[in-house]
Chain A
Amino acid sequence: MRWARLGEVAEVIRSKNAGPFELTFDLIFPDMESFELVKRSGVITRELVARLYNLPLNQVLHVVFVPAARAIKVTIVRPLPSGCIGDPDIYGAQQHAPWLDVIVPLPEQE
């Protein structure tokens, strides 16, 4: 099996507020094969999220696999509430970059 950066495998990698106190990430894959492969690899876990965002495990609220959307959805407690003093990203739209470098399995080319 070959491995690659998630940034090369996923079609969409995004972050956004889910209300002012939570931050949510959507990882969407171009086809079922890559979605299933990443899902089965067991790489995407709550422990990984805690490590990527330097959070205690109980602040990682969900890691959910959604086959209908070929997507993985991850929600964490926002490091700071949206718009509070010191928050650098009101919409939470640019907090996704650490995901790009996560190493995941890549479907074999035909």
Chain B
Amino acid sequence: MKELRLLSPQGMLGYGYPEESLKAGLETFPHMIGVDSGSTDAGPYRLGSGMPIVPRIAVKRDLSLMLMGAVSLRIPLIIGSAGGAGAREHVEWVLGILREVAKEENLSFKLAVIWSDVDRGWLKSKVRSGEVKPLGPVGPLTLEEIDKAKRIVAVMGMAPYIEALTSGAQVIVAGRSNDPAIFASFAVWKGFDPGLSLHLGKILECGALAAVPGSASDSMLGILKEGCFAVEPLNPSRRCTEVSVAAHTLYEKEHPYLIPGPEGVMNLQGATFHQVSDRRVEVRGSAFEPGRECWIKLEGARFEAYRSIFIAGVRDPIMISRVEEWENATRETLQRYFGTGDWSVFFHIYGRDGVMGALEPVKAISSHELGLVFEAVAPSQEKAQALCSFARSFLMHYHYKGRKATAGNLAIPYSPADIPMGPVYSFNVHHLVRVDDPMEPFDIEFMEINP
């Protein structure tokens, strides 16, 4: 095959995309459609709770159009990191939507489901045999943290996808995936160069984000050939430029040209970018260095506490000038009442340092109003609510120095004011595990879907 066309309708399943963009993509007769459906970017909540974050209604709309397109063209549809974090609950959630669409639209296809949930016993034996190491600035993985994690997923590379494709899967719903693998696996399976395939996959998994104006809610076409690939957004109001595509390779990655994955390292140092038409950029020289060993990334999240917040505005200039005084007074009174130990509170004061906290270089407040998000975390939701309520009523009537507004200190926009936020999680597994076979942590299940 001389040319492979890969269609990415959007950067995240459920973010939306113009129907015309997908249609323009389908008119190029692509060889596959792929979409990323998860990320750790939105924090540990999804993995910790098993909940999706994108609305079901949005996923159904986005999925149904691309599924109908793929089935009618008889090309594979590949969904990676299904449902948010790629854990069993997330994959099942996407499968439920997929089945519903297939039934409503009268579609039949062979489905492969790739599960990425990690067996704790297996992982513990890997820890004991010294085959687990930290990824980035985290400590070593302990057996205790494995038990504490609510969910642990392994991040698959291309191998499980290639196995599913080889077995004739028309639709793949996969658990947690290295983003570029969603597209690169198909290209490598078709015999294309892994360096170019992975680099193209890295661009396509973000939809039209590498274009100007960039967007994860629009479509991009990738055209892979021997020795080069090209990208072009499918919405005529966007274009790819040499700099927009080159700059995208930096996006969200810790290093600008060395991007590690389960198979090895993508080395983009020698990549060159050429404008070949007004809206299309061609890329050459993306290289891949296979690893001597296969190390698979693991992600896990554990429960920490419950959170409650209240939101308040402060407009009084005297109160604004006394911010340290009332913050300290509230903390002290909470400590007297609740004692110290199993709880903590945070004053997110927008207009002062709500965004950067201690890193904020601007110390003087120049705003005429402040936004306060008060946050309490505690072992139970009830206690978090109690901390919130106590702090709010204290602060509402606290008599700071020079106070003239003696009726109340806070503009509270909502009733009820204290908002239960539910459980809080943290990432407690961010490690690599060594495997002999890149399929080892993953299970593939095949099924026929009929309406």
Known: A22-B137, A85-B304. A79 touches B252 (CB 8 A): no
CB of A34 within 8 A of chain B? no
List B contacts of A98 (CB < 8 A).
Answer: 359, 361
CB of A28 within 8 A of chain B? yes
List B contacts of A70 (CB < 8 A).
Answer: 243, 246-247
Known: A26-B250, A69-B247, A73-B255. A83 touches B426 (CB 8 A): yes
List B contacts of A59 (CB < 8 A).
Answer: 137
Q: Are B251 and A20 in contact (CB under 8 A)?
A: no
Q: Are A68 and B250 in contact (CB under 8 A)?
A: no
List A contacts of B357 (CB < 8 A).
Answer: 79, 86, 88
Q: How large is the interface on B (under 10, 10 to 19, 20 to 34, 35 or more residues)?
A: 35 or more
Q: How far, in angstroms, from A66 to B251 measured CA to CA in the complex?
A: 13
Q: Are A21 and B426 in contact (CB under 8 A)?
A: no
Q: How far, in angstroms, from A82 to B430 measured CA to CA in the complex?
A: 12
Q: Which of B37-45, B75-83, B140-148 contacts A (4 or more CB under 8 A)?
A: B37-45
Q: How far, in angstroms, from A62 to B358 measured CA to CA in the complex?
A: 22
- Binary B-proximity of A11-41 (CB < 8 A = 1, otherwise 0): 0100011111110101010000000000000
CB of A44 within 8 A of chain B? no
Output the nearest chain A residue to B254 by Cβ-Cβ distance.
Answer: A18
List A contacts of B246 (CB < 8 A).
Answer: 66, 68-71
- Binary A-proximity of B243-286 (CB < 8 A = 1, otherwise 0): 10011011111111100000000000001110000000000000
Residue from the set B250, B252, B271, B307 with the largest chain A CB neighbour count within 10 Å = B250
List B contacts of A61 (CB < 8 A).
Answer: 254
With beta carbons under 8 angstroms apart, the residue of A12, A22, A26, A85 that contacts B377 is A85
Residues of B within 8 A of A (CB): 40-45, 135-138, 243, 246-247, 249-257, 271-273, 304-305, 307, 344, 346, 348, 354-359, 361, 377, 424-427, 430
A-B CB proximity, top 3 nearest: A83-B43, A69-B246, A18-B254
- Beyond known contacts A69-B249, A69-B250, A86-B357: 14 more, CB 8 A cutoff: A17-B40, A24-B250, A61-B254, A62-B255, A64-B255, A69-B243, A69-B246, A71-B250, A79-B357, A84-B44, A84-B426, A85-B344, A85-B377, A94-B356
Residues of A within 8 A of B (CB): 12, 16-22, 24, 26, 28, 52-54, 59, 61-62, 64, 66, 68-71, 73, 75, 77-79, 81-86, 88-91, 94-95, 97-98, 101
